[in-house]
Amino acid sequence: MITSELKDFLNAKAEQYEHPRFLISDPLQVPHRFAKKKDIEISAFLTATIAWGNRKSIINNSLKMMQLMDNAPFDFILDHTEDDLTRLKPFVHRTFNGEDLSYFVKALQNIYQHHGGLETVFTHYRSDAGLQPVISRFKELFFSLPHARRTTKHVSNPEKGSAAKRINMFLRWMVRPDTKGVDFGLWKGIQPGQLSCPLDVHSGNVARKLKLLKRKQNDAKALTELDENLRKLDPKDPVKYDFALFGLGVFEKF
């Protein structure tokens, strides 16, 4: 049951943790280094793609990706040559390597040259069913070029049961308003109420302790359950509670 006490508690925690001071330890600091919209969304997408494991390592390797792209990701995506791609070969973050990064560069080039860019694609596929089906359609388009089979694992597919934590996080960054200096609010064609919580170990464990989630696995079904309960708290901006759940788990060991 959603109680007024729980809502007040989570609202206070969301307010506490949605603050720029936490960017110093968050991968979101990487896209905040850019000023141009397309640089922000490309750096955010690539950063979110490798956002698993140690957060310091995520930040360092995301910055390394930007350096390999001359700290001008949109120009690199659009104008890269095959010689430029050889620079990416040594890159590695856990199971994401230079071969994967090279394909991501080519796929992003295709999206910006032939499909209007990331915002256009996600906005075009949106529906009343939320954004999880959109993510699945995006994956189909993203891998429409010749690619190594291993690379496909780096974009989640909710229709295959994934909670798609990293893409949902990327979408939160792009869609939620920038009023607190954390998220960017760059994409106006998608409403915050359509977003889903980036469900991971930390947010999942806290959600279970608060009785917002019963399912034990952090999968697509768990995300649906959590979404329904967060929308009861705030239907217009349910994903603001990501800050509360994550902050309670990471910083307070709740």
Category of 190 on φ-ψ map: left (φ > 0), alpha (ψ -120 to 50) or beta: beta
- Identify the pLDDT of residue 253: 85
Burial (CB count within 10 angstroms: exposed 0-12, middle 13-18, buried 19+), residue 114: exposed
Q: How far is CA 127 from the centre of its chain?
A: 19
pTM, entire model: 0.96
Measure the CA–CA gap between 152 and 68, rounded to whole angstroms. 22
DSSP conformation class of 150: G
Stretches where the chain sits below pLDDT 50 are: none
**DSSP bridge pairs for 93:** 96
Q: How big is the CA angle at 48 (ends 58 and 145), to the nearest 5 degrees?
A: 120
Q: How far is CA 105 from the centre of its chain?
A: 17
- Identify the pLDDT of residue 130: 82
- The crossing angle, in degrees rounded to 10, of helices 132-142 and 165-175 is 100
Measure the CA–CA gap between 195 and 202, rounded to whole angstroms. 19
